[in-house]
Amino acid sequence: MNIVLDILLLLLTIVYSYLESLVKLFIPQRRKSVAGEIVLITGAGHGIGRLTAHEFAKRQSRLVLWDINKRGVEETAAQCRKLGATVHAFVVDCSNREAIYSSVNQVKKEVGDVTIVVNNAGAIYPADLLSTKDEEIAKTFEVNILGHFWITKALLPSMMKRNHGHVVTVASLCGHGVIPYLIPYCSSKFAAVGFHRALTLELQALGKTGIKTSCLCPVFVNTGFTKNPSTRLWPVLETEKVARSLIDGILTNKKMIFVPSYIGICLILEKFLPERALAAINRVQDIQFEAVVGHKIKMK
């Protein structure tokens, strides 16, 4: 009898959830304040990280900026200070676990406990698998996913103590679908999406509902990491649009942030299509970018 009641309750919850989501499409969602929050952003030296820092600076957050590039992170810090924010910049290699733990300890001593972390630092090496160097594969995973583990492990205890915080994972559409010549990158982003989902459920299981999670999954972004990207179906996004979508998702506690938003619907439809149809879609998309193929740079 208990299982019957549980199934009925589940069905009612599903129906209610759909109705709630439908209503939210027409009612503006409430946005939380991030004023005074200590926000750590990795990969803040340029691109999405830099513009996300600008968005938090406009909202009076206290910023902790990390990047491996000293000049880049200092430029971002100077720009955010002009926007009125208190900023602390650090040169940190997010592929190095000991450097991460040491830097987190330094942040705690000099600034305080981080309440929002944006795991944005990333690495990508466009190439076919056989042309990709072993150290490039290792670096991709060290930055794109292992760094998320070390940073989150170091920051989570203080968030859990207060039951307050926000963990943001910057992933990619490549964490949901694959592209040739980006095998290590796609694999690491699948791991990042899995990390976000598993962390979300674990925090719920622990009763730490005050700690929010968000995962950003954009299509190609014009950051310069991938040279000359183009596709016939999806737009190549500018970093400004992605940063605005990210901050909006954080302020509304959105768990999965697709940019553009209709990508989420496309991914659902894709699950029901046969392989021949998926292959036809890939041909129509005609995704291209510069990649090393057979040890030579080509447009693929």
Query: How far is the CA of 261 from the CAs of 50, 117, 145, 205, in angstroms?
Result: 22, 23, 24, 28
Active-site residue identified among 16, 101, 185, 262: 185
Q: In whole angstroms, what is the distance from residue 69 CA to residue 44 CA?
A: 9
Nearest to 223 by CA among 80, 50, 71: 50
| Parallel, antiparallel or unpaired: strands 290-293 and 296-299 | antiparallel
Q: In whole angstroms, what is the distance from residue 234 CA to residue 271 CA?
A: 18
CB 30, CB 253: distance < 8 Å = no
Q: Does residue 16 carry a catalytic annotation?
A: no
Instruction: Please provide the DSSP assignment of 24-60 as one string.
Output: HTTSPPP----TT-EEEESSTTSHHHHHHHHHHHHTT
Q: For residue 202, how far is the Cα from the chain centroid?
A: 18
Question: CA geometry: angle at 115 spanning 101 and 103, to 5°?
Answer: 20
CB 215, CB 199: distance < 8 Å = no
Catalytic site residues?
Answer: 185
